[in-house]
Structure 1
Amino acid sequence: MSLFRYQALSETGKKVQATIDAVNLQEAKQKLLRLKVIAIRLEEVSSQDVAKALTKGELLALTREIARLLQAGLPLYETLAALEEKYRGMKPHAMLLDLSSKVKTGRSLSHLLKEHSQTFDLLYISMVANAEKTGRLTESFEELAQLITRQLQVRKAIVGALLYPALLSCFCLIVFSSLLFFVVPSLSELFEGRNLHPFTKIVFAVSAWACACKTFFLFLFLLFVAVLFTACFSKKGKEKCMQIAAHLPFFKPLLAKVALIRFTRSMATLLEGGVPLLGALTQARTSIYHVDLERLVATAEQKIAEGTHLSLCFENQPLIPPLVPRMFAIAEQSGKFSFTMQQIAQIYEEELEIALANFANFAQPILLLILGGLVGFVLLSVLLPLTDVGSFAT
């Protein structure tokens, strides 16, 4: 079945817009004729428009609005229809049109969200499915909005800490490349046949070697741009880059902490929504995006199914800080799993923010010193021969 959007005239002569399901355009026309609807415009909603993925920010805004409208007492269909009208001509419109028209026929929202898996992950869908069973749809959308907000805050903290050092590193590379490929070669003829200082010889030799291998360096630059583009815009490329970065010295503890925060936040949200512990582990594992931690959680699921305590499954694990199994043990005694998971996430979010701030404060002066040292060394090597006036006279 395809979705068709049509405009028609009401009894008062006002233009109205609605949708209808049909196998093809001809069947859609026949359905409208049977309904005695005079359509002045009829078009199929393209699958590309329906399948457009929303960004995390757009998903957060949409989730918040659904929660607010449900909280105001609107039924689910009326909520989706109201948002469909609001977002007409915008990116989420086709998806909301598809959801509202199918919810109207009686299909469950969680099953419909699976058709838009590029926007809604398994955790989101599971939360909605569980809310439909327990009648906590409004609360679940509020919890999902809070979860996405925290995820965006963590992402913003990481990007904010790494952006300036990355830009400064690029600037260092541009300056150094300009000196090696343009400035120093233009001065080589000036000092040809002269007895040069060792510093100057080193710089000229490096510049000559770089110019001779410029094709190779150009290839490396294009390869780096391709990898960066793939990491930013390709899902598989992003996952592969994350796997590689998870084993690098600096990024290994950082990414492990981010994955732990994501895991405990997801667990807290799922447990608060009424999902059992074992089911929450299974669903939260899909939101970790860290291969080693995912493997650890999968092993923990098997052990818990056999009767092992949660705290014992995470003891003496290199990726898990010692505090985590201790807090799990306390949660097992008190029964406050959701609250404990929230506290763990908050503790390590604060640690992550401090670590990123320290890294930014440390990296900026180091990069400035490197940039100043490189530029100063090249300039000194060029200026030293110029101080030898006698050689110019000769």
Structure 2
Amino acid sequence: MGQILVLLCISLLIIFSLILEKNKLTPFFITLLSTIQILLGYYYLDLLSLNNSSWMIYLGNIIIFILGYFSFRFILGTNMKLNIEEIGNDLTKTGFNVKDHTTHIIFVTIIIMFTMYHFIVGGIPILSNSIEVDRFAFSSSGLFGIPGRIFLFGLPFILIYVSYYDKQINNSYSKKLKVIVWIAFILFKLLSGFKGAILDIIILFVFIKAFLNQPLKVKNIFTFRSVLLLFSGVIFAAFISSFYSSLSLNGLEDIFRYLLARLTQIAAEASYYVINNLHFFESPYSYQYNDFAYFINKYFHIQMTGDREVFPIDKIVSSMLNNTPLSEYNFIVPVTVGAFAGLVLDFGIIGGYFGMFLIGSIYYYLFINCLKAKSPFKGASLGIILYQFHVYILNGGLVYTLINTSVIILFLFMLKILSQIIAHIIIGAARKS
């Protein structure tokens, strides 16, 4: 009976959302599908623990997120007579400009060089003997962790950026630049050692198509090319998983069983633990503030908590789940707590629901402004914020996401100005000669 109820709820969520999204693969729909995977994980964990209610709590979080998204869409649509079909992108259409194109080339080159530097100095995770640990070593290349974060945030940013630029100019030069960035993005993603690399590539592609108001339809999933691409993603994930020594996987059956669990049960495990063990996390301090203090100390060496040592939510939960002592010197297995559980820690279940309603509203606000972006840089900035918002909803880490995304966008803005200056010098020298 419980299984039928879960499947019925999932079916209704998908059908309702598809109707309102007009069968389009929007960022919202991709995020919804990802949360449904976690919902299945909750249900499975309920079966193991003989608990019948936790999956309903998480279902409530998904429903509230949906209500927040579509309520804000309704409010904006009513007040502004907004019709997504007619928006397109309000990109400022310009003719081809040599100086601007040179700026874009320099900007792209700098980002790719930073990423190359990260892999050359920090090592290539997929070739490492300790791939499980090295794939998270984003500060291994030094320079205050900037190259590693350029790979994490800057490379997707520049991909969104050149996609907007290509739509703005739409000529052979812009298309070649976009192809180069796509090749670089795919290559570095595959080298990163993450089993979900191909899936991440597909998701970002779907997001970008939606940002440009050219969303894919649900029927596109069932084309031969799409099925082949998804299948290759599964095979790649299986291949990489076989190198994770801690999993001790023997044979294909073990690997695919693990991958299925990773999408559902394991994805839900940390969040489920928090929801069902709130008494373990009672603290006079805000967990969000602790996260903020931890990262401010880590990145800027500013101690905000005196002698009190603090750790981010995901490390605390992981240490409890895996019985690993909390220490900066121990490798703490990364876990995905998720946005909802992170909010529940500070504000309780009801507060978490209010938070998810707000998150749904912000999600729609960001998306509609991606559609209305008037320049490639603004579109890419909003796009990377929305993409990271998607990651935050699934993985948690609000403070980490806000700090890193903000700092990287500011850094990229400075690089863009530097690129303009260099382009001005190059064009000026060329004209004089």
Q: What TM-score, normalized by structure 1, do the two folds share?
A: 0.26
Structure of greater Rg: 1
Greater strand content? 1
Q: What TM-score, normalized by structure 2, do the two folds share?
A: 0.24
